[in-house]
Structure 1
Amino acid sequence: MPSPLPPLRLLSVFEAVSRTGSVQRAAMELNVTQPAVSQALRQLEDHVGTKLLDRKTRPAARTEAGRILEVAVTEGLGRIADAIDHVRHLQMTGDSATVACSVGVATYWLMPRLARFSAEHPQVTVNVMTTLQGAPRLNPAVDLAIRYGNGRWADGTVEKLFDERVVPVCSQPFRDRLKSAGIKLDRTTLLHVNTDDPAWITWPTYLKNMGLPENRTAGRRFTNYVQATQAALDGQGVMLGWESITGDLVREGRLVELNDLPLVPADAFYLVTTPMIEERPSARLLASWLLDLP
């Protein structure tokens, strides 16, 4: 059995302290006393069995355990808030659709296309729920999910959106510096994205497929593709560019491909639609529109 979750009140206090950066500001925001906030933090630490804040620093910094919990709490409370907003909106209009996907796909692939959808269908409100990686299972609050994988999911109707293509990308000035200095890919700064999903291609996988040394763990590491992409745009190194994330940036000239050695994985991106799609005209319209994209 999974460990019981701590009371939501304790998680809310921890999120407020993490976001505001101090017990004092969190107490003001929550309209409670500072001792009450400190007590809630201690209760949460007792529940998880470890320190979440390093109180030797001023202001108190999060421990490694605190940073891990912060990511989960921020994402979890954010998704709850999004779901509540969605439910309230349904009660007001009933004319909306909610799509879930990773933050990278949402930022660089979905949002630019949704601008066109909204211009063509201004009567439909589209809500976007994001996760650091992957996409959640469909539920009453999620009509559509954009997922990367083999397409074998049972929570909805699965249709392919597009195939993937992975190739090293960087900024034009960074590539120019590499070429002028004669630096090869296996000797430059690599931008890594930490992921627990075995389906996602990482640098060791790419380098192995290209016949290059695989033991390149040095470089910069990020928790999601939005951070890594921004680092690449800023000329901080070379990232593995996925068509779903950096494809438009390459076509716009904001990033360039470092070589012409793409890796095309067997997995692809799919649109998963709710079994209740026929009862949701706005979701059905959005799904058809996405599937018809060139």
Structure 2
Amino acid sequence: MSKRLVPSMTALQCFEAAARHLSFTRAAEELHLTQSAVSKQVAQLEDMLRHHLFLRIRRRLQLTPAGSLYLAEVNKILTQVDMSSRYVLTYGEQTEILKVATQPSFGVRWLIPHLKGFGKRHSNIHLDIRNEMEPFALLQGSADVVFFYGQGTWPGATCVELFREEVVPVCAPELLAGRELGSAAELAELVLLQSTSRPEAWHEWFLEQDLQSVSAYHGPRFDTFYMALSAAQTGCGVALVPRYLAAKELAEGSLVMPWNHAMRSAGAHYLAYAEHAAEVPKVRALVEWIHEQLQA
């Protein structure tokens, strides 16, 4: 096996500080080292990489192209190490960390409200919830449990269906200016807010009502339903979103349905975990908790 090119943390810190200050002297002051020690660490790093990281011009430092490229990667590494170190400090020896990945809108509107009380029952389990637009975290090992929307077929994973959904058009009341639409076709005259994750949604919604609209693919596009909802609330147009995401606003009246047609989505929301993790206590605890919430 070839030798790994893994420089010391000291060398990386010296390089990062010198690159940030463009000065070995100021880097040394920050790191409480001598100027020669910082210079030596950087020189050793350059020898290892076989590239100059700095140009020394009239007692001033300037990053080379290789140095700029390396700095971006080193910053990521040092940031991750710092975050991981602070992360460990927040937990006790008896605590387990359960890493959960979820799509942003689902996490905000459904998952987090349904986690109320979980920490009280399982005080030894700390949840680490992260936004994931695609459900690949489980395969990459960066999550223990993943919540995703799709078809529920995932090799090597157990997928538990949570619920199916229906999507409905919503907009701010003032967008309609007090009028009632006479047909779904009139909706195409308004600005249709598009979803990046479901680009066919409006086309399919119109098609269900035997309508074709050239406007089905036109309009501002948003990465998340949550952003589309916000845009709809401010009067930017009509959003086509899962009903559960807009339930609060519809009940409050800050959003209305301009046309009362709900379309059942092709997929469903799932909870997934690796097959080999089925009996892992922390995973089982969350799976059972979510099951209880669905039965409540």
One-letter code aligned to 1:147: F
Match for residue 189 of structure 2 among 187, 193, 210: 187
CA distance 1:140–1:180, change in 2 (3 Å): closer
| Residues 138 and 144 in structure 2, CA contact (< 8 A), matched pair in contact too | no
Matched, 1:214 2:203: no
One-letter code aligned to 1:220: P
Aligned to 2:20: 31
Question: 1:235-293: per-residue Cα shift (whole Å, max 9, x none)?
Answer: 21111111353344434544332322111123211111233435532221111111232
Aligned to 1:203: 202
SS in 1 for 2:266: coil
Question: 1:82-105: per-residue Cα shift (whole Å, max 9, x none)?
Answer: 888777878844423221121121
Aligned to 2:101: 100
Aligned to 1:155: 156
Cα deviation, residue 223, structure 1? 2.4
Q: Which runs of 5+ in 1 are unaligned?
A: 1-26, 45-73
- Which sits farther off after the overlay, 242-251 or 223-232? 242-251
**Rounded Cα–Cα distance in structure 1 between residues aligned with 2:22 and 2:91:** 36
Cα deviation, residue 108, structure 1? 1.8
| Residues 105 and 244 in structure 1, CA contact (< 8 A), matched pair in contact too | no
**Rounded Cα–Cα distance in structure 1 between residues aligned with 2:190 and 2:286:** 42
**Rounded Cα–Cα distance in structure 1 between residues aligned with 2:189 and 2:222:** 20
Question: 1:164-193: per-residue Cα shift (whole Å, max 9, x none)?
Answer: 111111223334545399992111011112
Aligned to 1:61: none
**Max radius of gyration: which structure?**
2
Question: 1:177-221: per-residue Cα shift (whole Å, max 9, x none)?
Answer: 4539999211101111223xx7x7522222222223332133212
Aligned to 1:64: none
SS in 1 for 2:147: strand
TM-score by length of 1: 0.64
SS in 2 for 1:257: coil
One-letter code aligned to 2:22: T
1:159-178 to 2 correspondence within 5 Å? 159-177=160-178
1:1-40 to 2 correspondence within 5 Å? 31-33=20-22, 39=65
**Rounded Cα–Cα distance in structure 2 between residues aligned with 1:79 and 1:209:** 48
**Rounded Cα–Cα distance in structure 2 between residues aligned with 1:90 and 1:274:** 25
Q: Which runs of 5+ in 2 are unaligned?
A: 1-15, 24-60, 71-75
| Residues 96 and 283 in structure 1, CA contact (< 8 A), matched pair in contact too | no
**Rounded Cα–Cα distance in structure 2 between residues aligned with 1:170 and 1:78:** 41
Matched, 1:230 2:230: yes
| Residues 95 and 125 in structure 1, CA contact (< 8 A), matched pair in contact too | yes
One-letter code aligned to 2:236: Q
**Rounded Cα–Cα distance in structure 2 between residues aligned with 1:141 and 1:84:** 17
Cα deviation, residue 234, structure 1? 1.7
1:229-248 to 2 correspondence within 5 Å? 229-248=229-248
Question: 1:131-178: per-residue Cα shift (whole Å, max 9, x none)?
Answer: 234553344431111121111112321111001111111223334545
Q: Give the RMSD, CA atoms, in angstroms.
A: 4.1
Size of the aligned set, in residue pairs, is: 236
One-letter code aligned to 2:108: T
Matched, 1:262 2:234: no
**Rounded Cα–Cα distance in structure 2 between residues aligned with 1:151 and 1:109:** 18
- Which sits farther off after the overlay, 86-95 or 231-240? 86-95
Cα deviation, residue 124, structure 1? 2.8
TM-score by length of 2: 0.63
CA distance 1:165–1:142, change in 2 (3 Å): same
SS in 2 for 1:286: helix
